[in-house]
Structure 1
């Protein structure tokens, strides 16, 4: 039997240590916000803008954009991630309206935001055309005319041919203790869907380590597949920008609601 793992449970469990995925989380917050800011400003120009991060997690993109002066709202399927993002904003004296919400059912009125962001490979947790189409339709619905919608994913166009079994190892340090993070990918036969086992190995004392494993399911959506679904959801001017062009660590699908 093929297993499909609970996305909410995955991120509820990961929320307390999500920052340890990064060797320098604060630096990643600043770099990613600067890259997204360039893309948004290139489309919308200067001025105060209202932005929704509809898969905000613990706030990696939301915090940085709020610090740059955007009026931020955020949502995430994981209540634990939402609580962490809220606390992180409070410690930085940043204001953001963050709620637990499924991106397929956004709790916002039509034409509310100047920009909608769905970053860091969140959309590929949705495994069917119907679910992705619904999420993209919701992003388009809450974006005002002339807004910009940004969706970032892994570069699955280059990944899908090789169907890798692992992801690169990442290392960070917390209070002088080392943390190593890696991933195991188990592909479903004849499918672009894979189960990801996320392993965090934490140094509890010199020479002593503890391992935590969590599982989630993804679909390796290609750019053409997501572009077609974005157009079917009513987006226009759908195109992709690479990391070389934007400075962001993943390719970005860019579209407009009108």
Structure 2
């Protein structure tokens, strides 16, 4: 009997952001909160890590709320704490203005899910509407599980670095997907000691 190849299960992006934080901070228990929680005033004490998922920074930028959000994240962190954020870099796509990336498929069999993104670019290419539709297997067919719509601003790597520095972070670093294991570039910024 031939040995079967073991394929690791895909990791959730939030897990990858946590892995990046642990790699920087070292072993031990670290208090991690999401940037959305910080914006709602949830952490009452300083935390070790504030993380931001894939579309949050571009959405906050479109809402003209990113500067404030980054300052609040900085204030929520203990000295030496980290902001870890995944940020899509779509600067090169603004000329092409594609309507959608490939669908993302997860799970197997009846547990399979498909996530589709639809993009509607502004004429200047600086912003785009984003619709995310998640399909799940129903009774012999596909059903829409969730659908959300937001607007995003295209952020360049230089803009992200400047915004993090302006918010008071130090040792700002951009990790390529090959370095972090996340499908998007991941930014790591340190609260000063």
Say yes or no: does 1:44 pair with 2:44: no
- 1:1-258 mapped onto 2 (5 Å cutoff): 27-29=10-12, 33=15, 35-55=16-36, 75=37, 103-109=38-44, 112-128=46-62, 130-172=64-106, 176=110, 179-202=113-136, 204-206=138-140, 208-211=141-144, 213-258=147-192
Q: Note if contact 1:236-1:255 (Cα within 8 Å) is conserved in structure 2.
A: yes
Write out per-residue CA displacement over residues 19-69 of structure 1, whole angstroms, 9 at most, x where no aligned residue.
Answer: xxxxxxx7433x752x334422332222222221224xxxxxxxxxxxxxx
Secondary structure of the equivalent of 2:102? strand
Q: Note if contact 1:32-1:248 (Cα within 8 Å) is conserved in structure 2.
A: no
Q: Distance in 1 between matches of 2:63 and 2:168?
A: 15
Write out per-residue CA displacement over residues 114-156 of structure 1, whole angstroms, 9 at most, x where no aligned residue.
Answer: 1111122222111348410100001100001111111111232
Secondary structure of the equivalent of 1:190? coil
Q: TM-score, normalised by structure 2?
A: 0.78
Q: Distance in 2 between matches of 1:179 and 1:229?
A: 35
Q: Distance in 2 between matches of 1:139 and 1:199?
A: 29
Find the counterpart in structure 1 of residue 6 from structure 2: none
Write out per-residue CA displacement over residues 92-112 of structure 1, whole angstroms, 9 at most, x where no aligned residue.
Answer: xxxxxxxxxxx54533346x1
**Structure 2 residues without counterparts, runs of 5 or longer:** 1-8
Q: Distance in 1 between matches of 2:30 and 2:21?
A: 9
Secondary structure of the equivalent of 2:161? helix
Q: TM-score, normalised by structure 1?
A: 0.61
CA RMSD of aligned residues (A): 2.8
Q: Distance in 1 between matches of 2:115 and 2:23?
A: 35
Q: Note if contact 1:106-1:138 (Cα within 8 Å) is conserved in structure 2.
A: no
Q: Distance in 2 between matches of 1:129 and 1:183?
A: 20
